[in-house]
Structure 1
Amino acid sequence: MLRIADTRTGHLVEVPAAPRRLLRSCIHLPVIDTGIGPVHLRVPLVGDVLARTAELNGLQVVTVLTTADLTPDRTRALDRVMAVLGIHPPVVVGTHHPDAALGGPADVHVIAQGADTGDVTGGGRIEVGPVSTVLLEEGVPDPGHLLSPDRPDVLVPETADPLAVRLLLLHHPYATPVTVTGAALAEARRTLRQWRQQVADWAQEPSRPIPADLLRDSHAALADDLDVAAVLDLLADVAGRSDVPSGAKFETFAHLDRVLGLDLVRDVGHQRRPERPAPR
């Protein structure tokens, strides 16, 4: 069962309504006046997490993104930045009548807080909080290079992993405002680097099943209004637990990354086992 807190009522509602096994999701991109900004990325990111969570629960998903007419340059920029943030590409349609692309009425609408939703009817509603950025400290990569795809020719340093932006945003409940700071972005990069290193190390040990309590708790958090922050906290706890075998840690991280989309297994196979001393 997948439930969301419908913004209009404040109540948890099951989506899709049982017993149907197809989730129809409509992502409403905010109007783009002066350029694509962080909130234009957070809205489809939440839609991506919704779709991934539904698939983890055995549902089929159809996702469309409605947007006003975009210039070809902005369309390419939006596609590019969604790709680097690991957002599965939705079907892009116009601002009206997405039902034809969905194959029926939407079960869920994902919308930016404060957006004009006068033409949105039916289905549950997820409202996504705003995102702002602040000037960064010297030596810290500018998230604007990652969050402003209108600057396609800017070379982003390798240390400025775009998925660090995804991790930073996922650390906050989707309805709460987020401020991207240099310190927060640097911490997200450190966390990704550490987790990928640990996952690569654990992958060298014999595989073990995911502990039942970890599987139950993580799935319950995701199914209960997309509580991704709780899943990230769970992973941070698992990483330091001595009672969970390394092989089970690997399987836990790899399994939950199907929703997180952080490429946590990226470094697996890029390490060498320490050489054993030759027998005497």
Structure 2
Amino acid sequence: MPPFGRPPAYARPVLRILDARTGDPVAAAPARRGLTRVEAHAHGLDLTALRVLLTADLLVRALELGGTPVWTTLDAPHRNAELRAAAATLSIRPFEDGRDLASGLGEAQAIHIVAQEGGRVPAEGPVMAVAPARWTRARSGPSPSGDAPGPSSDPGSVQETEPPSGAFLAPPPDDPVSPPAAPLADPAALRLALLSVPRGAPVRLDRAVLDGAAQRLARWRGAAAGWARQPSRPVPGEVRARLRDAWEDDLDLPAVLEVLRDVESDRHLPDGARFETFVYADRLLALDLSSALGSPA
């Protein structure tokens, strides 16, 4: 299959998600201009809860890119403030406090984001289920992209662990008697690592995974800064179509990242078009891919 196919035949793409309640795909915004409420349900302070909030953030960004107004709320009865602070560190946009704040605003439907394990499924509305995310001291498997070791979705025989409260954003030390791990130097590396695994597959992270994600981010940011020095060119239509096809198909973020890898390596694309592609995709990914602009060559 060629890296870039023909654009889809339809004129108005629709973001569809897999409803965990029924197992069927449903439109995330059945009324094109109607308000959609996205409600994240998190009942702890761990990586799984953070992955729930990240999924909600990505859904909101994808809906807004399609022109759908969105109202986002958070149901987190335990350690709400700490979870919100951790989410902000990962560039997850703020959530409103209450469920009923959007009443009277023409809400079309509510979509609920829950954890696969232990999450309470709301009585009504489509449900997006998020698989667990855990830290492990075992080294993860090689990345399919060849960049560096990638997050593992294979249960295997790994030693799972969670750092002490307040440090759960950083991997645990290899030595169990060492002090808690230091805060992440670049939280976007954790965001990228979580985006690299399909939402329905469990994630097991370790220091090698974060290092690999940080290296990929540094490479992409440096490349984008170099491309930005060339004349701007529009995002090619077939590339834009591939990106939208990916995120409108149940938020397939690994497929979005694959498009960026193809764009990075395609020497036939003008540098200006590659830069604009990365900026366009980053409206969804929120990885700050243009942060190196203006830095010395």
Given the two structures, how large is their TM-score scaled by the length of structure 1?
Answer: 0.83
1:56 aligns with 2:65: yes
Q: Can you list the C-alpha shifts for 1:146-186, whole angstroms capped at 9, x where unaligned?
A: 5269xxx97536xx311100000000111110000222111
* 1:83 counterpart residue number: 88
SS of the residue corresponding to residue 97 of structure 2 reads: strand
* 1:276 counterpart residue number: none
1:114 aligns with 2:117: yes
Unaligned runs of 5+ in 2: 1-13, 140-160, 172-179
Counting only pairs closer than 5 Å after superposition, residues 1-280 of structure 1 correspond to structure 2 as 1-29=14-42, 31-32=43-44, 36-68=45-77, 70=78, 74-93=79-98, 98=99, 100-103=100-103, 104=107, 106-117=109-120, 120-135=122-137, 144=163, 145=167, 147=169, 155-156=182-183, 160-271=185-296
In the superposition, relative to structure 1, how do residues 105 and 271 fare at CA in structure 2: closer, same or farther (>3 Å)? Answer: same
SS of the residue corresponding to residue 223 of structure 2 reads: helix
- Between the aligned partners of 1:19 and 1:105, the Cα distance in structure 2 is 9
Matched positions, count: 249
- Between the aligned partners of 1:11 and 1:154, the Cα distance in structure 2 is 41
The amino acid across from 1:110 in the alignment is I
Q: Does structure 1 retain, via aligned residues, the 8 Å contact 2:47–2:168? A: no
In the superposition, relative to structure 1, how do residues 208 and 187 fare at CA in structure 2: closer, same or farther (>3 Å)? Answer: same
Q: RMSD between aligned alpha carbons?
A: 2.3
Q: Does structure 2 retain, via aligned residues, the 8 Å contact 1:105–1:122? A: no
Of Structure 1 and Structure 2, the greater helix share is in 1
What is the Cα deviation at residue 78 of structure 1? Answer: 1.9
What is the Cα deviation at residue 217 of structure 1? Answer: 1.0
Q: Does structure 2 retain, via aligned residues, the 8 Å contact 1:113–1:130? A: yes
The amino acid across from 1:65 in the alignment is L
Unaligned runs of 5+ in 1: 273-280
